[in-house]
Amino acid sequence: MRSIPVAPRREFLRSFVGGSLLMPGLLSELLADSTSSPGDPLAPRPSHFSAKAKRVIFVFSNGGASHMDTFDYKPELFRADGKKTGSGGGLSNQQRVLLKPFWEFRPGGTCGTLVSDLFPQLRECMDDICVIRSLNGNDNEHYNATLGMHTGSFFFSRPSIGSWVSYGLGTQNQNLPSFVALAPQMPYAGTQIFNNDFLPAYHQGVRVVGGKEPIANLDRRSKQRGLQELELGLADVLNNRHLRARADDTDLAARIRSFETAFHMQADAPEAFDVGREDDATLGLYGLKRGQSDGFGWQCLVARRLAERGVRFIELVDGSSSNNWDQHGNMAEHAVHAKNIDQPLAGLLRDLKQRGMLDETLVVWTTEFGRTPGVDGEKGRGHHSACFSSWLAGGGVKGGIAYGKTDEIGATVAENRVHVHDFHATILHLIGIDHTRLTYRHGGRDYRLTDVHGRVVRDILA
């Protein structure tokens, strides 16, 4: 976002001095400093190569959605219900009694991709979706797996994927953040999902919670015309003079930038979050009632509104650390969570497509890991990072396909393994970033989202 222009800033300062609040000598010094300021760290940057996708909408279903109950049809698991298997195949000794899927599978779209009855509306969108059935992670604990899915690191704090995208490409709208996290509740890894870590702090995601005040403390402090501009103009001059002597202080630079971000957002953000400007047909597409300003449907519609306003990376968090897809005791509870997101996600895809935006918007749905084919508790499933399913749509992805395979009961990857690092490398590639070249020097070494790993899954590219 741009600083307050030099000419108005100088006028503000002169009018401020006219009230005898500043000495003339100090005024001259401040006016001299106001003629230059550091460049915009979030200005749009060229991608490494041409790409269809200009932005990412990243949907994270917290808790570990079961692959064999959603997008990975396993007829053998239906037949093997209640039987025991050996301790191999990715199953522990305590999880050897097999549990059949709770829902039937049916073909979706003209492509015929099989999807369970948990997602009847998303099933109709399968011609635009590429399901990856062979994802693989490194950890079976929620915190670590969530951290890995967002940062590429399963054990140490690192910048989130949204922060990396912001760092690599900047923002297309100078009046809105480059990275927004629509997170009414926090998942297992907490704020790390949108944290910048060692990247400059202005690449941290801005959290939005919904309700009457989607972003806290965004309203103007004073209604008096010109007062806030005056205060920010003076602060901008003083802060930038201070910063020039401390060029490597990214926290200071971020604080300065946050003032500018907040100022511009006071004008643009309320309009972007006001879904009441949409017609009834659009609200119905997402399952929203007029006047509603929360819920997952609201998150999806706001994501579309932010996408069309140039926000580069938008994350939607589905679930919290206490209410999510982690069904150890009864898999039937998956139905509640699926119903919450099925219509809104299908509505998002349809809305983007009818507006001509889907080709330039990469939509990603994922979870931190899958669940075991074997029973855990009475009728539940355990954590399972050996294999799970996610999907992508739009933004240069082949729609109507399923990539990768698991074994006959969904315990291990049988074909075309896609590690989380490969998943990240592919997402970056789809927005024009070479994951091996997106690096940041920290602690004496160059870091990247994919660490020293990752390959682009080219078979799913359009």
Query: Per-residue confidence of the chain (462 residues) as pLDDT tens digits?
Result: 333 444 454 454 455 444 444 444 444 554 454 444 456 778 899 999 999 999 999 999 999 999 999 999 999 999 999 998 764 444 544 447 999 999 999 999 999 999 999 999 999 999 999 999 999 999 999 999 999 999 999 999 999 999 999 999 998 888 899 999 999 999 999 999 999 999 988 899 999 998 877 766 555 555 666 655 566 666 666 666 766 766 666 666 665 665 566 566 666 778 899 999 999 999 999 999 999 999 999 999 999 999 999 999 999 999 988 899 999 999 999 999 999 999 999 999 999 999 999 999 999 999 999 999 999 988 999 999 999 999 999 999 999 999 999 999 999 999 999 999 999 999 999 999 999 999 999 999 999 999 999 999 999 999
Kind of pairing, strands 55-61 and 361-367?
parallel
pLDDT in tens, 234-289: 666 666 676 676 666 666 666 566 556 656 666 677 889 999 999 999 999 999 99
With respect to residue 8, please indicate whether it lies within any of the assigned structural domains. no
With respect to residue 255, please indicate whether it lies within any of the assigned structural domains. no
With respect to residue 337, please indicate whether it lies within any of the assigned structural domains. yes
pLDDT in tens, 25-59: 444 554 454 444 456 778 899 999 999 999 999 99
With respect to residue 242, please indicate whether it lies within any of the assigned structural domains. no
With respect to residue 241, please indicate whether it lies within any of the assigned structural domains. no
With respect to residue 176, please indicate whether it lies within any of the assigned structural domains. yes
With respect to residue 448, please indicate whether it lies within any of the assigned structural domains. yes
Domain at 355, CATH number: 3.40.720
Beta bridge partners of 393: 129, 363
Domain count, the chain: 1
With respect to residue 30, please indicate whether it lies within any of the assigned structural domains. no
Distance, CA of 73 to CA of 50 (rounded, Å): 36
Distance, CA of 422 to CA of 334 (rounded, Å): 28
Q: What domain range includes position 284?
A: 43-219+279-460
SS3 per residue for the chain: CCCCCHHHHHHHHHHHHHCCCCCHHHHHHHHHHCCCCCCCCCCCCCCCCCCCCCEEEEEEECCCCCHHHCCCCCHHHHHCCCCECCCCCCCCCCCCEECCCCCCEEEECCCCEEEECCCHHHHCCHHHEEEEEEEECCCCCHHHHHHHHHHCCCCCCCCCHHHHHHHHHCCCCCCCCCEEEECCCCCCCHHHHHCCCCCCHHHCCEEECCCCCCCCCCCCCCCCCCHHHHHHHHHHHHHHHHHHCCCCCHHHHHHHHHHHHHHHHHHHHHHHHCHHHCCHHHHHHCCCCCCCCCCHHHHHHHHHHHHHCCCCEEEEEECCCCCCCCCCCEHHHHHHHHHHHHHHHHHHHHHHHHCCCHHHEEEEEEECCEEEEEEECCEEEEEECCCEEEEEECCCECCCEEECEECCCCCCEEECCEEHHHHHHHHHHHCCCCCCCCCEEECCEEECCCCCCCCCCHHHEC
